Structure formats: C-alpha cells, structure tokens
Amino acid sequence: MESQKKFTPTFSFELFPPQSEQGIENLRLTRKKLVRLNPKYFSVTFGAGGSTREHTLETVLEMQSEGYVVAPHISCIGSTKQKIHAILEKYQEAGIQQLVALRGDMPSGMARAGEFRYASELVAYIREAFGQIFHIEVAAYPEYHPQARSAQADLENFKRKIDAGADSAITQYFYNADAYFHFIDSCESMGISVPVVPGIMPINKFSQLVRFSDTCGAEIPRWIRKKLEGFGDDSASIHAFGLDVVTEMCERLLKEGAPGLHFYTMNRANLTSRIWSRLGI
C-alpha cells in the first residue's frame, strides 16, 4: 500500500444520465445536495450505444455550464474513432478536463465490437489524438474482471491501460477491503504507482445489489448477504446495517492509505451523504 499513501485523497461522486424528465429533475436536486459536501468532481456514466450516449453528453454539458467539475465516462465498445473523436471534441470545447475511459459491455443486439477492443486502445487513442488535454481515469478490479482469463492476466491488462497513458484508476465496488489491499500490493510489485481510488457502493436494495454484483463480478461476502437476506423488505434495517458495514470499510481503507473514495451514488444523495458525514470527510 506504500505507493498509495503519497497521494492527497480524492473524494468523488458518480451519477448516471437520466432518461426521463422526472429523472432529470431528480438528478438536479440530488447534485445540489451532493455538491454541498464539496467533492473533487462528479462523474457521469456512459451507456454503450444508442440514445443513452446523448443523455451523457446532455447531462455533462448541463452540469459543466452550472459550474460543476464533471468527468464524463466514455466507453469504446461498438464505436469508431470518428464517433469517439466527435464526442471528445465537444468535451474539449466545453472545457472538460477529466475523463473515465472504459471499454464498456456490448449491448444486446449489437453484433460488432467496433474499432476498439479494449480500454487500453481507447486510452492510447485519446493520448494520440488529444495529447495531455484530459486527465484519464480507468477502471480497476480488485476482485478481477469477470471475463479475465486469470487474475494475473487481468493485472497485466490493467497495466496496459496505465502504460497507454491513464493517470489514475477507480475500482469496481467491493465489500472486502483485503481484496483491495492485495490488489494494490500486486500493482506495486508490477511497477504500477498511479492512485487507485476505491469505488464505494452504499447498500440500498438487496435484490438490486445481488443483480449488479452477479453481473459485474463483485462479491457480497456471505455474512453480509445472509444478514441482508434476513431483513426481507425492512429497508430501514437494510440501510442501517449497510451504513455500518460500508462506513467501517471506508474508515479502514482511508486509515490504511487509500487515496480517496469514489461513491456510486445511483443518483441518490441520502446514503452517500450519511456515510460521508459519519466519516467526517
């Protein structure tokens, strides 16, 4: 963990672009509440394909015009250099300085991978076409990406993204701090020394969390799963237990040198704000 201790901690919030008028209004309220907590930046996710991409652009440009510091996510699967270039030009014109560069997942119904196969190729392309204009974040997987051939192959692929020019990383969420510390030690032994900020998912709905975790390969430890299962539909107990578990994990991460926290807010201010205030950030 030594390499991580030299960085000033960065606290940030992730939002997703809403699809409906109601969602847009909710997000405006949410970000007004969250900005009072003084995060370093907000990131906005990117849907792979179709109109959701437009929603990212709209949300990012609206937030940027309101004075928020925004880091758009951009994913390359199924896309072309021309399309990626056009989006990045818009961000450059708007004064965006930070991106989260991803491969993304192939949407159902889309058959071809496009001009980029992996996020490392996207990072290399952004550096080639835009130089150092953007600070580039990439994704990291302390419990390893579900499609990786092996843990070692995934680490080597993570290193490819850093070698291609990424400045820092945000992890997939996890509930097992040891996985993060072990991942960082492995990175250090491979000469990777960029900040790797833990991604934090507050616990809201059990069924939703199980669905997400099964898809993205994040493990819900058995003792947490069993406790949550036992609460049934009692959301107050789920939230109270989730707040304890997640806050304790964040405390440990920060105490042992994590270079900040990135909250997957799911466009809700409440749980993230409560963890934030318990941590005294």
- Give the tokens for residue 279: 């941590």
Q: Is 14 labeled as catalytic in the residue annotation?
A: yes
Angle 272-273-279 (CA atoms, 0-180°, nearest 5)? 90
Kindly state the smallest distance separating residue 52's Cβ from ligand FAD, in Å. Answer: 9
Give the one residue of 87, 99, 119, 201 binding ligand FAD; rule: CB under 6 A.
119
Residue from 15, 27, 34, 48 in contact with ligand FAD (CB under 6 A): 48
Give residue for tokens 């105490």.
255
The pairing of beta strand 196-200 with beta strand 10-15: unpaired
Instruction: Pick the binder of ligand FAD from 105, 188, 219, 256 (CB under 6 A).
Output: 105
Q: 5, 74, 10, 78: which is closest to 39 by C-alpha?
A: 10
> Does the protein bind ligand FAD through residue 199 (CB under 6 A)?
yes
Q: Is the distance from CB of 123 to CB of 160 less than 8 angstroms?
A: no
* Per CB under 6 A, 102 contacts ligand FAD: yes
The piece of 99-107, 125-133, 206-214, 236-244 that touches ligand FAD (CB under 6 A) is 99-107
Binding of ligand FAD by 260 (CB under 6 A): no
Question: Hey, CA dihedral for 80, 83, 86, 89, is it positive or negative?
Answer: negative
Contact between 148 and ligand FAD (CB under 6 A)?
yes
Is residue 100 a contact point for ligand FAD (CB under 6 A)?
A: yes
What's the min distance (Å) between Cβ of 81 and ligand FAD? 16
Here's the x/- map for ligand FAD, 8-37, by CB under 6 A: it reads as ------------------------------
CA Rg value for the chain: 18
Binding of residue 46 to ligand FAD (CB under 6 A): yes
Instruction: Decide: helix, strand or coil at residue 175.
Output: coil
Q: Which CB atom, from 239 or from 262, has the smaller least distance to ligand FAD?
A: 262
* Active-site annotation holder among 14, 121, 137, 143: 14
Of 147, 207, 236, 280, the one binding ligand FAD (CB under 6 A) is 147
Which CB atom, from 199 or from 242, has the smaller least distance to ligand FAD? 199
DSSP 27-62: HHHHHHHHHTT--SEEEE---SSTHHHHHHHHHHHH
- Is residue 104 a contact residue for ligand FAD (CB under 6 A)? yes
A 10 A CB-CB count for 2 gives: 10
Q: Shortest distance, CB of residue 64 to ligand FAD, whole angstroms? A: 17
73 is an interface residue for ligand FAD by CB under 6 A = yes
Residue 142 and residue 182 in contact, taking contact as beta carbons nearer than 8 Å? yes
Contact 60, 96 (CB under 8 A): yes
Residues 6+ apart with CB under 8 A from 22: none
Tokens 């071809």 sit at which residue?
112
- Give the interface with ligand FAD as residue ranges (CB under 6 A): 45-46, 48, 73, 75, 100, 102-105, 118-120, 139, 145, 147-148, 153-154, 157, 160-161, 170, 172, 199, 216
Q: Residues with catalytic annotation? A: 14
